[in-house]
Every structure is written in C-alpha cells, then in structure tokens.
Structure 1
Amino acid sequence: MKDLSLRLGGIILAGGESRRFGSPKALARLKDRFFIEYAIQAIEESTKDIVIISHNSIKSELNRVTTMPIIEDLPQYKGKGPLAGIATGINYLKCNWYIVLPCDTPNITKSEIMSLVKHIKLDVDAIIPVVKGRIQPLIGVYHSNVVSEIIEILESDHYKMMKLLDQLRVTYVPFEDEQPFQNINDLEEFQKLNDK
C-alpha cells in the first residue's frame, strides 16, 4: 500500500574539498555540465523540493551553478560524514520521504531514482539499491522517521551508513548495471569517464 500522504524531498550530498579528487567534486565538469547538475537532474523529476548539503568553502561557487538551497551540516554534526548531511536535509525539508544522492555519481539518471521511489510503502524505512551484490547506502530513499536513528548513531560517534541500515526495515532493490552507480573518486576515474 502506498503512503497516501507522500511528500518527497531530495537531499544531495555535495561534500566539500574532495581531497582524493583534488578539487570539489560537485564542481567537476563532465561534458557540458557540473556533477551537481547531473545529481539535480536525476532527482528533479521526482521532486522539486531539493536541498544541497555542502561545505561553506564551495557554497558561493555552487550558488553560481544552481538556484537550489545550499546549506551546511547542522553545527553539532559538522564533519561527521554523510549521516550528518542526511540528518541536516531531513531537518531542513519537511517531507515524508527523501531521495538521497551524492554528487559524485554523474551517470545516475531519473530512471534509477524512479525505480527506487516506486518501492515506497508504509512498512518500510529505506529503499536501497544493490548493484551486483553490493549495497549502495549513499543512494536511496529514506523515510523521515529514520532521523532519530541517525541522531543516535551520530551522538554515539559512529558514522557508518551500514550501522543505520542494520536498524531499519529496508527494501533492497537489485540492479545489474554498475555504471549509473559508479562513484568518481579520483582523477583517473574522472578521465576515463570523460573519454567515453
């Protein structure tokens, strides 16, 4: 049964300095667009309520690329990884469900996002892709009620996404094609992507 009071929001985790990559990944340019624009495009067909969680150091540059709201982690959770970003996004957008997407998966499209969204139902807390057997917790759809578990984990100084999933009712959605879910972590991966 679908949640009839469904209100869907989008949380894009834009990170900060991206040390392994050498520059902020959200502002990396692939073909004619920035990574952050690919993330927005993947989500915006499902919802226009989108917030970007970012580091203050790149906020002004991101503001030149998009009109979406850009905010920093809640002060008490700053620097505590993606769980802090998700908690911040849930706190900012008042929705029932949230699409969560990192900015460094530029191959993901609205098709994969909608494949997750269609699994929303009342007795589930999270909908997570499993790509060739590998769980991808940074890409998913989370119910607003997960925020209490996230805060509990953050306050215990554990920042692992899998610790959260272990506490939730999760629908795992299998995908065979790895390409849409590929994280671009370094310049070598970026170059390969640009050469395609």
Structure 2
Amino acid sequence: MTFGAVILAGGHSRRMGQCKVKLVIGGETLLARTVRQLADFPELWLSANDPGLAEGLPVLLAADRYPDAGPLAGIEAALSATDTDALVCFPCDLPNLTAELPRLLAERFSPELDALVLADSTGRLHPLCGVYHRRALAAIRRQLEQGQRRVLDLLPHLRWASLSGEIPDRVLYNLNTPEDLLRLQASK
C-alpha cells in the first residue's frame, strides 16, 4: 500500500481569535511544524480555506469541492486528488504531534480497512487523526451530499478500527482557544 498525508487547516479559528496555523510554537509556525512531522510521506496535501498558507511549503493544495463542509470536505478533497492508496490525516492544531505517530498509523493500517482512527486513553475517538483509504470516498461523498459534516458519523458506514494505548494523550492535545495556548506554554 502507498500512503500520503493531509493536513486539515481549513477552519476559521473563531475560538482562537487568530489563524491557528500561524501561531509560533518553539520558533516555527504550527503549520510548518506539522509539515515537518509529516515530511516522511512522498505526497503531502494541505486542505486550507486560505490557499496562501501553502506558499513556501512543500505541500500540494487540496481545494474543497464541498464548500463550508468542515474537515470531512478536506478529507474528501485530498482523497479525490491523491495518487496514493490512503492518506494519513491530521489537523493543523496539534502542537505535540511527532513524526512517529503518523508512521505508526501507516504501519498499523490494515488493507482490509477503510479507516483507522486514534482513540485516547478514555476511549474517545479522534477521527481527524487517522488513516483513510480511497475506498472511503463514496461514503464520504454520500454523507457530504446529505449535509452531514461530522467525521464521527461517517465511521459506521466504513470498515474501521481504532488505535489506542500506544501514544500518550498529550500528543492529541489541540489548540482551540487562547487558554489552550496559555496551558501549552505553561507546560513547556
């Protein structure tokens, strides 16, 4: 199987009050850091509502074909455009993402699956952190055409599994608000 990766950066950052991908963490933007963590993949897509975010980065831009339909539309756009069998998927707002996690997901992905998603230590699923096979496209498109945007609602229509217990929960910590950013800075 061949794997590419997609970074989901299409949100409006309303709760943060500023563009999250441009936040500087440890001397680099959150987007540049995420690109670096996914650099092992030969094909790296960016799903963003601002095409200018891709400038200067080694990414391909995946334009949404379903406007304002959230991250599920970003996954659909990248899966529609990729030449790989499956895409490892991550949101742009995980400051603790390491290169080992995307590699682990690709290694654990079974060819019989349509999706493999991460679960934290409580069992809570994180469907924006996972692997999606191109076979999932039909179900994704059906859901989007019905106006259903939640990625969690997609899973019952796929052959999927979850991966848990192999990564610390702190890797799944995401930045949504200024308070989240302050907590991250206080923990460093």
Q: Place the TM-score, normalised by the shorter chain, in its bin.
A: over 0.9
Please tell me whether residue 13 in structure 1 is matched to residue 21 in structure 2: no
Give the counterpart of 1:97 among 86, 93, 97: 86
> What is the DSSP-based 3-state SS (H/G/I as helix, E as strand, rest coil) of the residue aligned with 2:21?
helix
- Counterpart of 1:3? none
- Counterpart of 2:184? 193
Aligned residues: 185
> What is the DSSP-based 3-state SS (H/G/I as helix, E as strand, rest coil) of the residue aligned with 2:179?
helix
| Alignment gaps of 5+ in structure 1 | 1-5
Q: TM-score, normalised by structure 1?
A: 0.89
Partners of 1:61 and 1:88 in 2: CA distance? 17
CA contact (8 A) 2:6 2:44 kept: yes
Residues 61/82 of structure 1: CA separation in 2 closer, same or farther (3 Å cut):
closer
Partners of 2:105 and 2:62 in 1: CA distance? 25
Q: TM-score, normalised by structure 2?
A: 0.92
Partners of 1:123 and 1:86 in 2: CA distance? 19
Residues 16/171 of structure 1: CA separation in 2 closer, same or farther (3 Å cut):
closer
- Counterpart of 2:157? 167
> What is the DSSP-based 3-state SS (H/G/I as helix, E as strand, rest coil) of the residue aligned with 2:55?
helix
How far apart are 1:168 and its partner, in Å? 1.2
Residues 71/173 of structure 1: CA separation in 2 closer, same or farther (3 Å cut):
closer
Please tell me whether residue 50 in structure 1 is matched to residue 31 in structure 2: no
Please tell me whether residue 23 in structure 1 is matched to residue 18 in structure 2: yes
CA contact (8 A) 1:90 1:147 kept: yes
Percent identity between matched residues is 26
- Counterpart of 1:149? 139
Partners of 1:108 and 1:178 in 2: CA distance? 11
Structure 1 stretches of at least 4 aligned residues deviating more than 6 Å after TM superposition: none
How far apart are 1:60 and its partner, in Å? 2.2
CA contact (8 A) 2:120 2:164 kept: yes
Aligned partner letter, 1:102: P
> What is the DSSP-based 3-state SS (H/G/I as helix, E as strand, rest coil) of the residue aligned with 1:138?
strand
Give the counterpart of 1:130 among 95, 119, 124: 119
> What is the DSSP-based 3-state SS (H/G/I as helix, E as strand, rest coil) of the residue aligned with 2:45?
strand
CA contact (8 A) 2:116 2:163 kept: yes
How far apart are 1:17 and its partner, in Å? 2.8
Aligned partner letter, 2:17: G
CA contact (8 A) 1:125 1:170 kept: yes
RMSD: 1.4
How far apart are 1:61 and its partner, in Å? 4.5
| Alignment gaps of 5+ in structure 2 | none
Please tell me whether residue 181 in structure 1 is matched to residue 172 in structure 2: yes
Equivalent residue runs for 1:69-108 within 5 Å = 69-74=60-65, 77-108=66-97
CA contact (8 A) 1:31 1:194 kept: no
